[in-house]
Structure 1
Amino acid sequence: MRASWKRPSRSNDAPRRRAPWGLGVALLGLAAPALAAPALAAGLVADGAPVPGAVRATDRVRPADGSLRDEGELARDMARLVAQWGARGPIQRTPARLLHRGERRRLPLPAEALGAPAGCVTVAVLGAHDVSFVLQTGTDAVSRRAWPVASRAGLAEVTRCGPRKASLRELTVHMRSPRGILESVVHLSADSPPPARSFLASRQLGPALPPGSIGPRPRLAPVKERAGRLERAAKRAGASRVVHTALTSDGAGRGTLPLRLDPGCHRLDVLAEGDASGGTDVDARLVDLHGDEPLPEDVSESGQASLSVCVGRAERLSLVYTGTPGRSDVMVTVASWPLPESLPEAWGPLARARLAGALGRELLGSLQGGPIQTSLGVQGVTRLPLEVEPGACYAVAVAALRGAGTSFALGVRTDAVHRENHTREDTGGVALSFCAEGATAGNVEVHAGGFGVAWVLGVWQTAPATTSAGHGELDG
């Protein structure tokens, strides 16, 4: 006999169970929000008392089309903002958009407003109170100096007047929260408008606590003591030579040191005595008066400036520093590492220097012999086949031979490994390292951006194959 299952029937005389009144309302709100929302919006009463959280008709926003609907606090704040700023001058409102974490979106601004020599442009971006985002003014050298504007209580705004309006041409919003809906307003005015936070009460955070004090800055150790530490660390890292040069800064705390650097990679440290408060901010840069090769600079806030540079031939450079106490003793320490024979001289001094800078001292020291694979390429995307030995480890580097605004993304993929690395704009090259595990083949992919870019790529073995695969990846 086969068992069967049937839904039990209910007779008309069977008593029906009724849910409590509150549970029924809750289920109504969950199962039929379209029915529950109008009831709350209409301000219905239950048992003679208003429903908690009901939205009155007088609290709703009346859009320009004359309709009556409630769109929440974001719409009400945007309506107040448009009304306040619209009375002062033209406004441009962009539709609301959903952004996800890490997404960047450019904010459209009227070109005629940015090109006018007079007047101001104000951009305000609104979201929910718990949404976090940042306004960034561009990627060029001038815009990068501007501090990004972070949102507070879901509001961020920026105003630029006169010639400074040009910095808003590449204005972008960068989402930090997992997701959020953002809406923006662009306002053109003769002078700076009142801040949006001044009339949007819900966006006002109140007074902020002053930052706590962590005590005075630590005093710097004597210059000779710090120079000795640097020398010992450089020799442990395999430096072939360490040279100390004592200088005296001028009355403004500045100085210059001519340098002759042999082929290789060099680390330069500028050490200064601390001032009366115990803190000193030393900045330094390298200057090449006879070439256009971009050279490093150190503008960090520290009592020591550190620079690293690789050269493929003997170079005469000038080290310029500032920020030391006036008429004080300064020590410049130069530690040098020669270029390994693994970088073929046939590649020329520029390629050898840039590949050495991309690989770094640790990977340079691990190269075993010359490159097992080389290639030349130009800007765009290039995919190259790669043969590897199971269990062996490798280093891959790509460097620019020419071009402007160069940027690289480098990737290696095998059946067992996938590694990627990329650079910022105007950097000479990029490198990564990996172990083949059990793979015998894969591919290398180069993404080269910029103008008139040509590049050279090399692959080196850094560890031989072993009988058992399973090496951990090297840090490039």
Structure 2
Amino acid sequence: MARVAVLSLLTALAGLSVGGPARADLSDDAARVARMWSLSGARVARLPPLFVEHGRRRLVAISPPAAGAPGAAGAAGASRAPGAGRARADECLTVAFLAPRIVEFTVEPEPAPGDASALEGLVDRLRGREPDDERRVHSAAGAAMITRCGPAREELRRVTVDMLSPRGALDVVVAASSGAPDRVESILPERAFGPVAPRGDPGRPVEPGPLDARVARAARRARAEGALRAVPTDMRASVVGTGQFSVKLSEGCHRVDLMAEVPSATVRRATDIDAEAREAGTGRLLDRDRSDAPDARLDFCLGEPGVVEIPFLGAAGPVKVVLSDAQWSMPAYVPGHFGARARGNLAAALHRRHAPAPRAQPIAEAVGTQGDTLVPVPIEPGRCYFAAAALIRGELRALRISAELGDRAARDDAGDGSEGAGVAFCSDLEESAALRVAARGNSPVWVLAVWPMD
């Protein structure tokens, strides 16, 4: 027993003497940079961590660490806020931004008031392109560093952080020194990177052309795809290029194209219309367009006539905006006893898959809820069918329908914002098909309809 106790004690002591695997996180990396810079004689401080989201630029105020601040800031924990000391006229100011290695961002010193580069950047943005400025520093392996010496230190009094990734946290280390300190990648070799190709300039945004020609082209395209008619409506956008249409639409499927006039002025904002369609009263989203194209396109189907609100933004100022509504009729054999919402969603599944209008009543109908549901359906050998699943009520996060016949299967997923999915299948010798509907969301209730197709 004594020998066993001694062995257990030795094992425990060995476990204490051997540390766990080294794991460096973002704060550890910032502390290493602060410690190495302070050991080289720099005055070092760390700013509070930042959290930046894509599309929301963050302005960071920078001031040199106070004169007389401890040199070994990293040894006992660097100061979390720079002091307000007066720097020597010839010293350098360095700012390092550290994020997780997979995060991509840019940092850019804010130009001083009256700086010509500020006006050039404004003109570039009005023309719809990002300014090609050597002041902007792109991160590499999650790190970006800027150094300015002498009077140029004033450029770092405020720095703009622009997140290119969806979001990210950043640690900021500030150093004042007699010369440029070591590069971040020499202190953190795991963040070292090879040559980085310069980002290409995609050029100016595509000019969409005259408004009248685009409206006519959209109408011709819709009629070529079987639309009964294309009805234009116009309004004038606000000074900032926004507005909202409120239109009463018939039952059936609709393709709404929104097109804005392009001003003749040389310096102007780029035309990039973004829009969404919502059911008036309920606010239910029918479709949304957030693409980078100059014009917006919305596709949806209505189970009954109703008012649809279509807010938009992205016009180049107070210009004429045209809404062109292309209309397709509601297929005769789409059931309406499940309600207008289900009827519109079933029609949307047919329309999105370019299926011909059914010429007979559904041979099978079923209703289901959240989860995976198997619906066996008897079919005739040698015949083709179309099955559609559509939301009746609730909210969807995902909707999938699949048809399995022997060793063959076909499936379809509802698109982003769509509430209906459909799949076509044909029988060789099978007399039964297994239809599976998978629904995820907030208390979704769906309906399944299966039509024979000629």
Which bin holds the TM-score, normalised by the shorter protein?
Answer: 0.5 to 0.7
Contact 2:274–2:291 (8 Å) recurs in 1: yes
Relative contact order (alpha carbons < 8 A, sep ≥ 6): 1 or 2 greater? 2
Hey, what's the Cα distance between the residues in 2 that align with 1:303 and 1:417? 42
Query: Which residue among 406, 416, 440 is the counterpart of 1:415?
Result: 406
- Stretch moving more, 256-265 or 201-210: 201-210
Hey, what's the Cα distance between the residues in 1 that align with 2:379 and 2:419? 26
Provide, for residues 372-420 of structure 1, a one-character-per-residue CA deviation record: whole Å limited to 9, x for no partner.
1111112122111122233322211111111234422222111142112
Contact 1:223–1:272 (8 Å) recurs in 2: yes
Question: Which residue is equivalent to 2:213?
Answer: 225
Question: Which residue is equivalent to 1:392?
Answer: 383
SS in 2 for 1:351: helix
Query: Which residue among 232, 249, 265 is the counterpart of 1:244?
Result: 232
SS in 2 for 1:346: coil
State the identity as a percent. Answer: 28
Tell me the CA shift for residue 82 of structure 1.
8.6
Query: Which residue among 285, 294, 299 is the counterpart of 2:285?
Result: 294
TM-score w.r.t. length of structure 2: 0.59
Question: Which residue is equivalent to 1:264?
Answer: 252
The structure-2 alpha-carbon separation of the partners of 1:283 and 1:425, relative to structure 1 and needing over 3 Å to count, comes to closer
- Stretch moving more, 194-203 or 260-269: 194-203
Contact 1:408–1:422 (8 Å) recurs in 2: yes
The structure-2 alpha-carbon separation of the partners of 1:395 and 1:123, relative to structure 1 and needing over 3 Å to count, comes to farther
Hey, what's the Cα distance between the residues in 1 that align with 2:186 and 2:323? 52
Contact 1:285–1:295 (8 Å) recurs in 2: yes
Which structure 2 residues correspond to residues 260-409 of structure 1 after superposition, within 5 A?
Answer: 260-275=248-263, 276=266, 279-409=270-400
Hey, what's the Cα distance between the residues in 2 that align with 1:329 and 1:426? 28
Count of matched residue positions in the alignment of Structure 1 and Structure 2? 314
Hey, what's the Cα distance between the residues in 2 that align with 1:348 and 1:434? 26
Tell me the CA shift for residue 196 of structure 1.
8.3
1:430 aligns with 2:421: yes
Question: Which residue is equivalent to 1:458?
Answer: 449
Contact 1:385–1:444 (8 Å) recurs in 2: yes
The letter of the residue matching 2:243 is G
The letter of the residue matching 1:337 is W
Hey, what's the Cα distance between the residues in 2 that align with 1:263 and 1:455? 20
Hey, what's the Cα distance between the residues in 2 that align with 1:64 and 1:80? 23
Which structure 2 residues correspond to residues 68-83 of structure 1 after superposition, within 5 A?
Answer: 78=23
Hey, what's the Cα distance between the residues in 1 that align with 2:415 and 2:382? 32
Hey, what's the Cα distance between the residues in 2 that align with 1:233 and 1:301? 21
Contact 1:407–1:450 (8 Å) recurs in 2: yes
Hey, what's the Cα distance between the residues in 1 that align with 2:224 and 2:418? 28
Hey, what's the Cα distance between the residues in 2 that align with 1:336 and 1:84? 59
Provide, for residues 228-276 of structure 1, a one-character-per-residue CA deviation record: whole Å limited to 9, x for no partner.
1111111111111211123222322222222000111111111112344
Contact 2:358–2:452 (8 Å) recurs in 1: yes
Hey, what's the Cα distance between the residues in 1 that align with 2:312 and 2:343? 28
The structure-2 alpha-carbon separation of the partners of 1:432 and 1:252, relative to structure 1 and needing over 3 Å to count, comes to same
SS in 1 for 2:213: helix
- Stretch moving more, 326-335 or 193-202: 193-202
The structure-2 alpha-carbon separation of the partners of 1:440 and 1:416, relative to structure 1 and needing over 3 Å to count, comes to farther
The letter of the residue matching 2:193 is L
SS in 1 for 2:286: coil
Hey, what's the Cα distance between the residues in 2 that align with 1:247 and 1:85? 54
Hey, what's the Cα distance between the residues in 1 that align with 2:359 and 2:142? 53
Hey, what's the Cα distance between the residues in 2 that align with 1:80 and 1:429? 44
Contact 1:379–1:452 (8 Å) recurs in 2: yes
Question: Which residue is equivalent to 1:48?
Answer: none
What root-mean-square deviation, in Å, do the aligned CA atoms of Structure 1 and Structure 2 show?
4.0
Question: Which residue is equivalent to 1:442?
Answer: 433
The structure-2 alpha-carbon separation of the partners of 1:198 and 1:266, relative to structure 1 and needing over 3 Å to count, comes to farther
Tell me the CA shift for residue 222 of structure 1.
1.0
The letter of the residue matching 1:302 is A
Query: Which residue among 197, 204, 225 is the counterpart of 1:216?
Result: 204
Structure 2: gaps (5+ residues):
1-13, 34-79, 81-97, 105-138, 144-166, 175-182
- Stretch moving more, 418-427 or 449-458: 418-427
The letter of the residue matching 1:306 is R
SS in 2 for 1:347: coil
Tell me the CA shift for residue 351 of structure 1.
0.9
Hey, what's the Cα distance between the residues in 2 that align with 1:205 and 1:322? 40
The structure-2 alpha-carbon separation of the partners of 1:222 and 1:123, relative to structure 1 and needing over 3 Å to count, comes to closer
Hey, what's the Cα distance between the residues in 2 that align with 1:241 and 1:230? 11
Tell me the CA shift for residue 335 of structure 1.
0.3
The structure-2 alpha-carbon separation of the partners of 1:325 and 1:445, relative to structure 1 and needing over 3 Å to count, comes to same
The letter of the residue matching 1:422 is D
- Stretch moving more, 408-417 or 231-240: 408-417
Hey, what's the Cα distance between the residues in 1 that align with 2:318 and 2:31? 58
Tell me the CA shift for residue 84 of structure 1.
4.6
1:199 aligns with 2:187: yes
SS in 2 for 1:402: strand
Contact 2:350–2:357 (8 Å) recurs in 1: no
Hey, what's the Cα distance between the residues in 2 that align with 1:304 and 1:438? 48
TM-score w.r.t. length of structure 1: 0.57
Question: Which residue is equivalent to 2:119?
Answer: none
Contact 2:370–2:445 (8 Å) recurs in 1: yes
Contact 1:416–1:436 (8 Å) recurs in 2: no
Structure 1: gaps (5+ residues):
1-62, 70-74, 89-118, 126-132, 136-151, 158-170, 173-186, 464-476
Hey, what's the Cα distance between the residues in 1 that align with 2:416 and 2:317? 36
Contact 2:236–2:320 (8 Å) recurs in 1: yes
SS in 2 for 1:396: strand
